[in-house]
Structure 1
């Protein structure tokens, strides 16, 4: 039996259904991320686990206990909100001690636990300060300490990094993950940021329109997307229109390449997708496909140089490592782009941009992909 079980949970607000039969099993100590665009239902699902929303149907169990109808304070859950929700009239120490006080923990034990929590987050010197005297990163750490001080069974994090600048976000997501591993708390993290999800999670639940599109490790979600939505939402894709020639051969801009086109027939128009890191300007045995194109953009990103190449009406992005001894190609120059057949994702006959004109659950085909959802 899994530590946290969500079974058949659905939620409607009047005639609007925001969750459709959500099923998920989370193991003890696992870090699971709900990833998806705004409005996909990820925060609603989190609030149902916390007890702040009531499911229209379905059950939630924690450590074998059915908590579906329990009040939030009876579930032993810690939660960090997007806005942190620190009490402005309380010191840092009092904020961290709040949940302990409500739970009736004796004063001496509260003081000891607060000291431990502040040391754990690396801020033992700010116990007497107030929230307005703290930076955004410090407030986030204090909110996290307050959530874990009562030793919850499950920790819920609702986009806690969204209000911080990029550099602090990168630092804090590492700190959160390290702290979660150290304490072994079963954690659900909500975000719309794919980089956060990929870098922090044991598993990712990709959601769209109130449904689970795919559950898997970061490696599986990125490299083996099961639906068109997952392929487009996680990572960067370049799209090419092609016409099926014969077998696994597709013609793109008058050039024939190898690509598994699934059930498409000869003469069908298909949309092919490729990730920037799968493309190279240098041939190899594995990269047996070759397309000639024109360089339309060169963007220097530090360790990576991102090129954009045109093939007829379509363009692909190409990520190459910055090599000081090898300048990138010039704008307008003709290049040969090489890639492996297994790196081509076929989004189906007549498909447009991923997710356009089709249900999010439309399967993706490709030699690395399962052919069904």
Structure 2
């Protein structure tokens, strides 16, 4: 059931269009991530949902109710910021209780709810501590508890983990996703970290320069990028420059070497240039009889621990492929000639749009 609808949202500052036409329907309880680099409009879109910014054009509906012109405190939205934004002169319990006090809840109700929230974030023994006495991860847990204490209809998170170190980020993102599933709360999560978006989301909205480039599940975004930007931004990807030979048969050439795609290239004329996406993990050294084959030369080998990334020059195309580290079998050497094999199903045409 559609719960949150963003219909034709645009945000313009002077002559600069920060957010271009943004259309999105979110199901109740769904976890959506806005993924993109700095300045792409993802936080501005989030702030329009929160009520901190008013759309220049478009409407926002929550559970069928138009909230476009409502103030933030009238939208039943919880917000978690990148910088924690805890009150330094308040204890953990007082920070979590703040929204409840503003809402006019009774002292008994506040005490009970604060206790529930501290148990939920696994910090029940830190109720009397102040923010400066806690780690960054603990502070962000408190900020999360404060945001959900008032039982909001929608939870908004604006890059909440970017100030934390890598190990804590992984742990806390798992906790956030588990908590979101337990509560069944509709959530929008803003991030520039593709790993966060891929691991946490039901669906991802990839954004660039104020535009929605693609909306889809993590599987769709990673394996079937719709545009060149998505292909290059999400994960490591090879972009092959090819020439179309027989569109209806999916036959193409890469630097004069014949390969094919699994699907027909309908609407693409013979001789047209084509950009194809191919993930490093889809390539193997050694050609198969039924798959595609490209001949090239090893140009570089990078040892990354469990993974060995090998770069192969195929004419003016440089491909990367990933293999698992095998202590009993060293990787090929630079300058060595190799055959690369991959399935036609792993090739995907990408557009510049």
Fold match, TM over 0.5? Answer: yes
Select 1:267's aligned residue among 251, 266, 271: 271
* Aligned Cα root-mean-square deviation (Å): 1.8
Corresponding residue number in structure 1 for 2:49: 49
Q: Is the 8 A contact 2:281 2:322 kept in 1?
A: yes
2:25 and 2:349 map into 1 onto residues whose CA distance is 31
1:233-252 correspondence runs (5 A): 233-247=233-247, 248-252=250-254
Distance change in 2, residues 1:200/1:224 (3 Å): same
1:241 and 1:63 map into 2 onto residues whose CA distance is 46
1:244-291: CA deviation from partner (whole Å, max 9, x where unpaired): 3445333323322224655443333433331101111144465x1111
Select 2:330's aligned residue among 327, 339, 346: 327
Q: Is the 8 A contact 2:231 2:350 kept in 1?
A: no
2:169 and 2:286 map into 1 onto residues whose CA distance is 35
How far the C-alpha of 1:193 sits from its partner, in A, is: 1.1
Deviates more, 1:223-232 or 1:41-50: 223-232
The number of residues matched between the two structures is 349
Deviates more, 1:327-336 or 1:152-161: 327-336
1:97-148: CA deviation from partner (whole Å, max 9, x where unpaired): 1111111111121111111111111111111111111111111111101101
Deviates more, 1:315-324 or 1:86-95: 315-324
Gaps of at least 5 residues in structure 2 are: none
Corresponding residue number in structure 1 for 2:76: 76
Alignment TM-score, normalising by the size of structure 2: 0.94
Alignment TM-score, normalising by the size of structure 1: 0.89
Corresponding residue number in structure 2 for 1:132: 132
Distance change in 2, residues 1:88/1:5 (3 Å): same
Gaps of at least 5 residues in structure 1 are: 349-357, 363-373
Corresponding residue number in structure 1 for 2:260: 258
Deviates more, 1:228-237 or 1:251-260: 251-260
Q: What secondary structure does 1:277 align onto?
A: helix
Corresponding residue number in structure 2 for 1:122: 122
Corresponding residue number in structure 1 for 2:19: 19
Q: Residue 278 in 1 paired to residue 276 in 2?
A: no
Corresponding residue number in structure 1 for 2:305: 302
